[in-house]
Amino acid sequence: MYCADDNGRLSPPEWFPILMYHRVVAVAGADRIDAQATPLQLISGHLDWLAAHRYTTTPLAEALDSKLRRTCLTFDDGFADAHDVALPLLVEKKVPATVFVVTNLIGRKSEWMPAPQQLLSETQVRELHAEGVVIGSHSRTHRGLTDLSDSELWDEVTGSRADLEDLLGAPVDCFCYPYNDVDERVIDAVRRAGYRLAVGGDRLPHQRHHLRRFDAAQLTLAQLALRVRGFHHWGRGHAVLEPIRRLVRRLA
């Protein structure tokens, strides 16, 4: 549980592993061209490893207050393959996940990429939601947020939430920072906008509106084990472990 400080803010949550994916491909090979593409077989192996090692995969919001040995799955950008490729596996294995959607580009392509890929349609977003997948905001346009004016930032943060709530007819309380581009001003905007939580990368401290994640897209099971068990997260705070961290980075 959380305790509020003198300013009414909640104390930081205990770290727990949050896996970050982007695209999911049905056949291995595309991952050699796009480093963000994960073969379905690899994600299936990740889920089997987590289950075998007694990690409970929970929705993000539930994980915040849980004392279980838990982990979470997140999919950034809202690619159509989250519906067409990943969803059947998630349903089969009864694994919850969160998909973060760029709302102005729903039904279009990921125009920020050198080789744009198809994004979820409105119908697909609704179907993911109906299957129990949590839909979160990934801004309206997928721009980096730290260089935006205050008004532009507020539109990206609040406008995307309004877009999704209109589409789903349900509350949206999770945010994901595009490019993991975030600073204290951006975090404060997300907090003031009323999001219950937000996810980022691993550069800033772990906190409720910057839950730290690691990129699981290409991890072997051995690399996954190191990340999930928290060695990398713990080691970042200990300078004496820098030689070991360099070794882990080479392995990962």
Residue 238 has pLDDT above 50, yes or no: no
44-97: pLDDT as tens digits: 999 999 999 999 999 999 998 888 899 999 999 999 999 999 999 999 999 999
What 3-state class would DSSP assign to 144?
A: coil
Single-letter residue type at 139: S
* Candidate from 7-11, 58-62, 208-212, 232-236 with smallest mean pLDDT: 7-11
Question: Which residues contact residue 205 at a Cβ distance below 8 angstroms, ignoring those fewer than 6 apart?
Answer: 12, 212
* Candidate from 32-36, 119-123, 227-231 with smallest mean pLDDT: 32-36
> Do the beta carbons of residue 122 and residue 106 sit within 8 Å?
yes
129-151: pLDDT as tens digits: 999 999 999 999 999 999 999 99
- What is the chain's mean pLDDT, rounded? 89
Q: How many C-beta atoms lie closer than 10 Å to residue 117's C-beta?
A: 17
The percent of residues in the chain predicted with pLDDT above 90, rounded, is 79
Helix (H) or strand (E) holding 243: helix 242-251
99-127: pLDDT as tens digits: 999 999 999 999 999 999 999 999 999 99
Q: What is the pLDDT of residue 7?
A: 42
Q: How far is CA 162 from CA 8, 41, 87, 201, in A?
A: 26, 35, 25, 24
- Residue 208: which of 6, 35, 8 has the closest Cα? 8
Q: What is the pLDDT of residue 65?
A: 84
* Candidate from 4-13, 23-32, 42-51, 131-140 with smallest mean pLDDT: 4-13
Bridge-based pairing state of the strands 56-57 and 37-39: unpaired
Q: What is the pLDDT of residue 203?
A: 87
| Ordered structural domains, the chain, with CATH | 18-218 (3.20.20.370), 219-252 (no CATH)
Identify the bridge partners of residue 25 per DSSP, sorted by sequence position.
Answer: 39
> Do the beta carbons of residue 214 and residue 20 sit within 8 Å?
yes
Helix (H) or strand (E) holding 174: strand 174-176
Count helices and strands (H / E) in the chain.
11, 10
Output the six-digit token pair for 211. Answer: 């839950």
Confidence of residue 35 (pLDDT cuts 50, 70, 90): confident
